[in-house]
Amino acid sequence: MTLRAFLVDDEPPAIQRLQRLLHRTDRVTVIGSAIGPEQALVAIPRDPPDVCFLDIHMPRLTGFDLLARLPHPPVVVFTTAHDQYALRAFAANAVDYLLKPIEPECLDRALAKVERLRHPGSARPLDIQGLVRQLAESLRESVPEYPERIASRLGQRICFLDLAQVTHFYAEAKLTLAACASKAYCIDQPVVELERTLNPRKFLRIHRSTLVNVVWIEEIAALPGGALSVRLRDGRRTELVVARDRVQELRKRLGC
């Protein structure tokens, strides 16, 4: 009997890659997914899965926060790009975690653990919510706050751009520009400073003069010499060059 799984991650490429990996195992049926914790809070109680693959770092609510708010939390396998939290504490409570990019052998290990829980006589964690609350507090203390908007100055006027609407930042003629669907806006900070201050899970530097919002990437293509180009899903289908020394990090981020 296959496991029924629900996936939660605020990055669509991460969900897509995990879906492909789970499909190849022939052990899991993905019954649903959510791009963010709010959707999951509604969907999971409505049709409880056997296992939930849950991202930790998400806006507004962390994965720990989400799990703590569920009245009857399912078996959970956490997914994370960071190995700095005490997630191994979950191993003793029959809950596993996977580091991104998720490797097939690690996924098999987690599935085996979930399958053992389904056997008669297997014990479920007695106080999983208490443990989750403790880790949620620890996570909130250690996660830096990233801006959601950025200022653009034009003469004596300053407007504020939602970073979710910025497809990429680029340097041109000694200026830094934030590209949005309608136009490009001048930004005071150079690209190298933006790389340090913006959320690294959202914005990735693909060239010394270009910082891209990975959510807007639609496709990638190989270029001669080992570089790549990315095409954005903006109205202009903008193409950007990925420097050779940035290719591996981009592929890792996109799970390809």
> SS3 of 191, please?
helix
- The reply to whether 149-254 shares the fold of 3-142 is no
Contacts (Cβ under 8 Å, ≥6 apart) of 33? 6, 7, 8, 9, 15, 19
Q: 93 pLDDT band (50/70/90 cuts)?
A: very low
- Cβ–Cβ under 8 Å, residues 41 and 65: no
Q: What is the pLDDT of residue 84?
A: 52
Q: What is the 3-state secondary structure (H, E, C) of 26-67?
A: CCEEEEEEECCHHHHHHHHHHCCCCEEEEECCCCCCCHHHHH
Q: What is the pLDDT of residue 31?
A: 97
Q: What is the pLDDT of residue 138?
A: 55
Please give the Cα distance from 128 to 149 (Å, whole number): 36
Evaluate if residue 32 carries a pLDDT over 60: yes
Query: DSSP state, 188?
Result: S
Q: 103 pLDDT band (50/70/90 cuts)?
A: confident
Both structure tokens of 164: 């979710």
Percent over 70 (pLDDT), the chain:
84
Helical segments of the chain, H only:
12-25, 37-46, 63-69, 104-117, 128-142, 191-197, 247-254
Domain 149-254 has CATH 3.90.950.10: no
Q: What is the pLDDT of residues 167-216, one digit of tens each?
A: 999 999 889 999 998 889 999 889 988 998 898 889 999 999 999 999 99
Q: Looking at the domain covering 3-142, what would its CATH class be?
A: alpha beta
Q: What is the pLDDT of residue 36?
A: 85
In the chain, domain spans:
3-142, 149-254
Query: What mean pLDDT is reported for the chain?
Result: 83
- Cβ–Cβ under 8 Å, residues 249 and 203: no
Q: 83 pLDDT band (50/70/90 cuts)?
A: low
Q: What is the pLDDT of residues 222-232, one digit of tens each?
A: 888 878 899 99
